[in-house]
Amino acid sequence: MQRWIWEQHWAELREIQEQAIAPILAGDTDLIIAAATAGGKTEAAFLPIFSKLLSAENLDATSVQVLYISPLKALINDQHQRLEALGERLEIAVHPWHGDISASRKQRLLKQPSGILLITPEALEAMFILRGHELTKLFGGLRYTVIDELHSFIGTERGQQLRSLLHRLEAVLGRSVARIGLSATLGEMDLAKQYLRDAQVQLILSDATGQELKLQIRGYRKTAPLFLDEQQQEQDGAVDELDIAQHIFKVMRGSKNLIFINRRQEVEKYTDLLSRLCEAQRLPNEFMPHYGSLSKELRQAAEEALKEPNRPANVVCTSTLELGIDIGSVTSIAQIGAPYSVASTRQRLGRSGRQQRDPAILRIYISEPEVTPQTSPEAALHPALVQSIAVVNLLLQGWYEPPQTRRLHLSTLIQQLLSLIAQQGGVRPDYAWKLLCQTGGFDRMDQALYIELLRCLGEQDLIQQTSEGLLLLGLTGERLVNHYSFYTAFKTPEEYRVTTVGKTLGTLPIDYPLMEGMYLIFAGKRWQILAVDRRHRVIDVQRSTAGRVPYFSGTAGLVHDRIRQEMWQIYLDSAIPAFLDSTARDLLSEARRNFRRYGLDQRQLVEAGGDTLIFPWMGSLVMNTLALQLAGLGLKVETGTIGLSVSRTTPQKLLPLLAELAADCPNPLALAATVANKLSEKHDLFLTEPLLCQNYAAGYLDVQKAWNTLRQIVSEPLA
């Protein structure tokens, strides 16, 4: 190992790599190694792990000794390339395992388990169900579990699934296995420790500083077109969109850059605009799309273009390139539209400036409307611009969102219960309670709620109970478990497959209206639909000169309270951040003037056109809670970016109603009962209404903070 390090021409190990050696070699403690992208986390974990596997007591190992969990198949492929070269030299096998790995390679591992296994949570789930009786043989000598991109799992369905699977694996082995989490810096590392394991977890946090950061927020004004032709504007781009595309083309063409956008249809729109700019100037196209609905081949082509030396490549993407796929170093990062998360912005920024002494470069492009007498007060506050400034301010302060850990994840618990029954052929309900809830990943469940869930699943024939009390799969449960889609804990939408000349380009939502002859912008190119096979869900297309951006469903991420409160401080302040361009400075000054014109420096209620706007300056959970409370009074409420609009009422009429709500802290279950559609996770359709209310209240409401906000609003004078 020392010789290998010397051959890499490393003058020294990084601090986190030095600190990780002793605890990993000891192998008796859980560990989180936290650092920014390209901070050396993988080497910090695997250099001492390889050393440990070379020691004498491991020479006769006949099982997998290291389990590496990744959120992405592409990341497994990258890490396999990085680790295999060293593994071959040390004669330690490194096995990738996911849906694209050949059956013959998997069979070799099953016959002679050894070394390091790189796997996704879904593939591990399949092992439990299909090879439950072989788990001891496969993992009997397991020494370490390494979880990459730990922060991406916490608070998600996949995260709950993984946490449960690791606990179940240790139950099979009858012992604990050292867990090593590799993570970007999180807002509250104590929550990350609790996720990894409730026991004591050691934290190694990189304090590496000093990288130069260059950033700019660029402002643009949306101007109303002289001749309103929405279809032509959609096809050719609005004025502000063209201006943004032209600037990106000017500063990024000829190098390697990532251009992040929050919505998939916007990825298609800007890829098309940028590609046509290349075409207009008779230049090779350097702009490629990358998001989850595109085919694996197209995504890999974009990734390979980024890796290829001396080849200019610009990839327009969603969060798919946010995680640690090795794409080499890019020159800069662009963000079109307001970022909603400080943590994800930091993760994206970590892609830039990875070479020593190179700065990290971030450009944020924000478009705001021209303010006219018809502009709503919320739009006149230019919230996208101010949210972007707030995110950058908090980023520079070193604050990040803490992980969301309040949810019950009843859908994932259903999956894990059915998986456990399939693994063992049947289980006792008290054993399942102890393994999955009392000591396992679903520790927010109480026993009464668990019993209610079992009854619910029994009524729908997902499970049955024998006269001896054993839980078995019902007929519906059997069908679920035996379907290939069962291994994923998250919902996968029904989609059409888009093809051209027999080649798959990707998928489109099944609810998108499609017909022959329609034009489409997809995979960065323009197409005409030749045929729609609704039975087999296939769309055949051919190249065209016209096209329209398809609509993709999906919701934006939750915004944290701290971002909204930082926005309020920005409105109150008078300083102009140095990282704004001239248009962004003008927009900020305009937003602040409007903020004071509406009296929002003194109160949180504003009358506008016979409606009342409420500005709570709180995040998504509080906004949702307040909206439900107001709707419960029979009011018509619409949720905006930063405010709630209550129709046909004045602040004077609304204030007594708010005071009535502020008299008592609301009942979260009663509020959840007023929500028409509470189905959000994969198996929620099997839950009864009371269970859905429990699930929704835990994940989407914050009644205490909403109550505090209401009491603050009613205490303020109206004038």
Residue 144 pairs with which residues in a beta bridge?
66, 178
Element (H, E) at 189: helix 189-196
Quick: pLDDT tens for 195-253. Answer: 998 768 999 988 665 568 899 999 999 976 544 455 555 556 688 999 999 999 999 99
Res 233: pLDDT: 58
Quick: pLDDT tens for 255-270. Answer: 999 999 999 999 999 9
CA-to-CA dists, residue 626 to 125, 281, 511, 656, angstroms = 39, 52, 31, 15
Q: How far apart are CA 36 and CA 347, in angstroms?
A: 7
Question: Which range, 369-373, 509-513, 618-622, is most confident?
Answer: 618-622
Mean pLDDT over 14-29 rounds to 94
Give me the amino acid identity at 414: I
Res 557: pLDDT: 80
- Closest Cα to residue 696, out of 401, 410, 403, 402? 410
Q: How far apart are CA 75 and CA 247, in angstroms?
A: 32
Q: Given pLDDT bands bounded at 50, 70 and 90, which one contains residue 612?
A: very high
Q: Which two tokens stand for residue 523?
A: 């995979």
CA-to-CA dists, residue 592 to 165, 438, 568, 678, angstroms = 51, 51, 10, 38
Q: Which two tokens stand for residue 179?
A: 């867990």
| pLDDT exceeds 60 at position 448 | yes
Quick: pLDDT tens for 67-120. Answer: 999 998 888 988 998 899 889 988 999 999 988 888 999 999 999 999 999 999
- Closest Cα to residue 482, out of 419, 547, 543? 419
Res 208: pLDDT: 64
Quick: pLDDT tens for 545-579. Answer: 999 998 887 666 899 999 999 999 999 999 999 99
This prediction has a pTM of: 0.92
Q: Given pLDDT bands bounded at 50, 70 and 90, which one contains residue 58?
A: low
Mean pLDDT over 293-319 rounds to 92
| pLDDT exceeds 90 at position 499 | yes
Give me the amino acid identity at 368: E
What is the chain's mean pLDDT, rounded? 91
Q: Write down how long the chain is.
A: 719
Q: How far apart are CA 370 and CA 221, in angstroms?
A: 6
Mean pLDDT over 604-627 rounds to 96
